[in-house]
Amino acid sequence: MTYVPNHARYEHMSYRRCGKSGLKLPAISLGLWHNFGGVDVFENYRAILRTAFDAGITHFDLANNYGPPPGSAEENFGVLLKKDFAAHRDELIISSKAGHLMWPGPYGEWGSRKYLIASCDQSLKRMGLDYVDIFYSHRFDPNTPLEETMGALDSIVRQGKALYVGISSYTAENSAKAIQILKDLGTPCLIHQPKYSMFERWVEGGLMDVLEESGVGCIPFSPLAQGLLTDKYLKGIPSDSRAAKEHGFLKTSQITPETLQKIEKLNALALERGQTLAQMALAWLLKDPRVTSVLIGASRVSQLKDSLKCLENQHFSAEELSKIEEILS
C-alpha cells in the first residue's frame, strides 16, 4: 500500500534553531544506530520510520557503520527513502558520520581525508542520495592533524556531498579548535553530537559553553543511557534487554544496586510529574535551550510513541530539578 504521510504532521512537533544557523531541527530526532540493520525486520523498522515522519520527526541520523552488518542501516534506509519518502526528500534532514572502523586496512577508520571522503561517497551510494544534509566526523583522531580532518569536511561541502558538517564526541578543547578551523575555512560547524543523559554529564564540564559561545547546535545521543533511564530495569534485567545480551555498550556490571536505587527514585518523581521515566529523562535534556534536538532510538512503534509524549511536559520546577540533582549525586 502506498504510504501517505499524516497531513497534520507539523502541527504538534516543535522545531528549534540549530545554533546560529538557518536550520531548524525537530525537538526529537530518530537515530538508526540499532534496529535498522540487515538482522532486523523490514516491516518493523518501516513502521517506525513512517510513524516518526507522521509525528513531525524530519531528522534521521545514520553512520557508515550502523547495522549490523556495518552499512546495512544505510542500505535499508535507502530502500525506504525510495519506496516511501522519495516525494518528501526536501522535508527531511538526513545525516551520516564516519570515524569508527568500517573496512580493513589503514584507511578504514579515524579521521584522515582519505577515509572521510571515501566514507561519504560510500554512504551516498548506499542510500541512493546525491547529498546528505549533515556529515559528521564521528570521533576525534589523535594521530591526524585536526586541520586535515576539518579540511576533509570542508571539501565534502564544497563538492556538494553535504549541506552542513558537524562533529561527534569531541572534548570541549578539541571542539573549540575544530569549530575555529571550520570557521576559518568558511564552512561553519553546524552541530555537535555528544553522549549526554542524566547519567552521562561530561558535556557540562565546558562543552556546552563552547557550543553556546560558538553558535553551534547540540544533539545528545544515548539520552536514555542505553535503556537505564526507562522502567525496563526496575524489576531486574529482562532477558531481551541490551544488558542481558552483553554484546552492546550496556553491561550487567553497570546495573549496580546503587544505580537501581537512583532509577527507582527518578521513576517515582517521573510518576509524580505524570510521565514515564523515559519521558522525564528526555524532557530533562530538552529543558536546556542550548540543546537543539534529542536523538532517540526505537525498537518498536509503541516505544517511539511513548518517547514523543515527553514533548507534552518539558517544564521542571526548581524543586524538581533540585530533587533530581539530589538523586543523581
Q: What confidence tens digit (pLDDT) does each residue in 85-130 have?
A: 999 999 999 999 999 999 999 999 999 999 999 999 999 999 999 9
Q: What's the mean pLDDT when you consider all of the chain?
A: 95
Q: What confidence tens digit (pLDDT) does each residue in 30-66 have?
A: 999 999 999 999 999 999 999 999 999 999 999 999 9
% pLDDT > 90, the chain? 91
* 138 found inside a domain: yes
% pLDDT > 70, the chain? 95
The domain spanning residue 33 has which CATH number? 3.20.20.100
* 243 found inside a domain: no
* 275 found inside a domain: no
With cut-offs at 50, 70 and 90, classify the pLDDT of residue 239.
low
* 260 found inside a domain: no
pLDDT at 245 over 60: no
* 256 found inside a domain: no
* 325 found inside a domain: no
* 270 found inside a domain: no
Q: Which residues contact 283 (CB under 8 A, 6 or more apart)?
A: 275, 310, 311, 313, 314, 316
**Count of the separate structural domains present in the chain:** 1
Measured distance between the N- and C-terminal CA atoms of the chain, rounded to whole angstroms: 51
Please state, as a whole number, how many other Cβ atoms lie within 10 Å of the Cβ of residue 313: 13
Domain range for 92 is 15-226+282-313
Among 312, 263, 302, which Cα is nearest to 28's? 312
pTM: 0.94
* 296 found inside a domain: yes
With cut-offs at 50, 70 and 90, classify the pLDDT of residue 249.
low
